[in-house]
Structure 1
Amino acid sequence: SGLSPVAVYSSKHFDLVKSLGATAIYDYKTNLPSKIRAETSNSLKYAFNCISSQSIAKYCVSALILGASPRFANLLGEISLRKDVVPSLSITYTAIREDIVYIGTPIVASAQDFTFTKRWFEMIKAFLRKEKLKTHPLKAGLNSLAGVLEEMDLLRKGLVSGHKLIYHISKTT
């Protein structure tokens, strides 16, 4: 792609993030967005907030290049904390061919997003098969679906870190 991925992460997971391809990693607890902007020579044009918190959204936007209409993709809805930033909502709900309301925001179904998502999923499957794409480590949730509520509480408390929780429906009793 010609891009150099920059990651904002907990320092305890720097090795993991480096193994996934990040060229620079910053600790969200100690590094300031201005440091990222300085170390990237004010050239960071794209940011994606996959944590879905306002504080991380602000952090991401603050690290972006000044001017030049940088882009900020977000799971919280189309918010922008700077006038020069082009915001976008990155959520697959627009691709399910049904209008919904997400966190109080109406999301309109999109035939274009549906078509794109179908192609995108096929590409991702091929990348995974060929091992050209790496995923976060996966951790099977306890008690299959019966443990979801308990483990959602762990997520709310910030006790899940460095892996994605998955659940095996077929093992649910």
Structure 2
Amino acid sequence: MSPDIPQTMKALVTQADRTAKVQDIPVPNIDDDEVLVRTVALAQNPTDWKFIKNITNVGTICGCDWSGYVAQVGKNVSSPSVGDHVAGFVQGGTYTDRGAYAEYVKTPAELVWKVPDQTLSHEEAATMGCSFWTAAQALFHPTRLALVEPPAKVDKEEWVMIYGGSGSVGMFAIQLAHIAGYKVVTTASPRNFDLCKSLGADAVFDYKDPDVADKIKEATKSSLHKALDAISEKSSQTITVKSLGSGPGKIVTILPPQGEARELRKDVEIEGTLIYTSLGREFNFGPTKYPVSLEDRSHMAEFLKKVPELVVARKIRPNRVKLWEGGLDGINGGLHYMIEGKHSGEKIVHQVIKTA
């Protein structure tokens, strides 16, 4: 390890009482194909508090989304280089030496993307982790919705539905589907209609409207056959199924598919997607064991190569940032705020190193 890198670091670590606290732990050693990043900004996701409260892998580093500067590279790594501004996603709450909510994070070099100069701040780049990757996997992976992947564009008029357009996954999914040339219909609260339209949605409907499914079918002329449910509760899956036109369809969910939704239409396939598979590691998620998926990792590694170009062209906008004070020590407060459901249309971000 470089003499400039300390032996220990501060990190938010899962405790046996289903809480997390900041502790001093060793700075992780990297493998030959990995990089070590000095984190600058960290972003929150619901999965962060769920790992702490529900799964509780004691002694593991919490957090998934990060942005920072490369501090060290493995001997097989040709890119990125030490000093580069990079951002990425890791599986927090699972490993004792790998998690975002720390002063240093390690990750495979092919699973980071280099943030182009004079484009995004660290706080903005940190928002493009778990939710951004989930949207990309759900929309473009050949075994999920298999949409045309940017920079290519679909060659005909085709609608895609994004349920939950003002959530973090939904906001990225709207943008990605739009730049791929699809017409996008989404749901949101009326206060977020303009936000969804600014991201590329062609039609937005109130998810609480009892006639929302019928209105979506009318707007899409019953031609809708593919959808991403970026909320994935029982009610959202039911509405999404009812919004599709006649004939075979497919819905990808970010939480497990609901049996009742599947019963509504036998010709509609409902499949869940779990972004952790893109990291190419075997892991346990609750009682379920997931094997290594080289296919999912390869797809994400190739997609990440395209991200800098999309950012430079301003085709992708980060989530709106809600900066939370306190650095690592403030994360528990931000997670509690999220648990209470007080945020909408924005991403809670923490500064490990103050940039402004």
How far apart, in 1, do the equivalents of 2:351 and 2:286 lie?
Answer: 27
CA positional deviation for 1:16: 1.0
Deviation readout 1:44-100 (Å, 9 max, x if unpaired): 122112224332222222212232x21111111355523222223333211212222
- The answer to whether the aligner puts 1:152 opposite 2:152 as a matched pair is no
Counterpart pick for 1:74 among 225, 229, 253: 253
State the distance in 2 between where 1:100 and 1:161 align. 30
Displacement, 1:144? 2.4
**Structure 1 letter corresponding to 2:205:** Y
| 8 A Cα contact 2:280 2:297, kept in partner | yes
Equivalent residues in 2 for 1:42-121, closer than 5 Å = 42-67=222-247, 69-79=248-258, 81=262, 82-102=265-285, 104-121=287-304
Normalization by structure 2: what TM-score?
0.44
For the 8 Å contact 1:93–1:107, the answer to whether it is kept is no
Which residue identity does 2:326 align to in structure 1?
N
- Structure 1 pair 73–23 and aligned structure 2 pair: CA distance change class (3 A): same
- Matched residue type, 2:228: F
What SS does the aligned partner of 2:187 have? strand
Structure 2 gaps of 5+ residues are 1-179
**In structure 1, distance between residues paired with 2:327 and 2:240:** 34
Whether the 8 Å contact between 2:184 and 2:202 is mirrored in structure 1 is: yes
Kept in 2: contact 1:43–1:64 (CA 8 A): yes
| Structure 2 equivalent of residue 143 of structure 1 | 326
- The SS at the match of 1:17 is helix
Higher relative contact order (CA 8 A, sep 6+): 2
Change (3 A) 1:86 1:74: same
Is the CA contact 1:73–1:87 (under 8 Å) kept in the aligned structure 2?
yes
Q: CA RMSD in A?
A: 2.1
Q: Helix, strand or coil for the counterpart of 1:12?
A: helix
Q: 1:141 to 1:65 in 2, by over 3 A?
A: farther
Counterpart of 1:16 in structure 2 is: 195
1:88-128 CA distances to partner (integer Å, 9 max, x unpaired)?
33332112122223354433321111111001112123201
Q: Which amino acid aligns with 1:118?
A: A
Q: Per the alignment, do residues 130 and 72 of structure 1 end up closer, same or farther by CA in structure 2, a change over 3 Å counting?
A: same
Amino acid at match of 1:48: L
Q: Are 1:93 and 1:109, in contact at CA under 8 Å, matched by a contact in 2?
A: no
Where structure 1 has 5 or more consecutive residues not aligned to the other structure, the ranges are none
Write the distance in 1 (CA, Å) between the matches of 2:286 and 2:312.
Answer: 34
Matched to 1:97, the amino acid is G
Work out whether 1:163 is the aligned partner of 2:346: yes
Aligned residues: 170
1:70–1:156 distance in 2 versus 1, CA, 3 Å? same
- Aligned equivalents of 1:98 and 1:78: distance in 2? 23
Measured at CA, do residues 52 and 102 of structure 1 come closer, stay the same or move farther in structure 2, by a change above 3 Å?
A: farther
CA contact (8 A) 2:253 2:273 kept: yes
CA distance in 2, matches of 1:53, 1:160: 18
| 1:4 partner amino acid | K
In structure 1, what is the Cα distance between the partners aligned to 2:183 and 2:308? 23
Question: Whole-Å Cα distance in 2 between the matches of residues 54 and 105 of structure 1?
Answer: 21
Partners of 2:324 and 2:234 lie apart in 1 by: 27
1:5 equivalent to 2:184? Answer: yes
User: In structure 2, which of residues 196, 205, 223 is the aligned counterpart of residue 26 of structure 1?
Assistant: 205
Distance 2:290 2:241 in 1: 23
2:313 maps to: 130
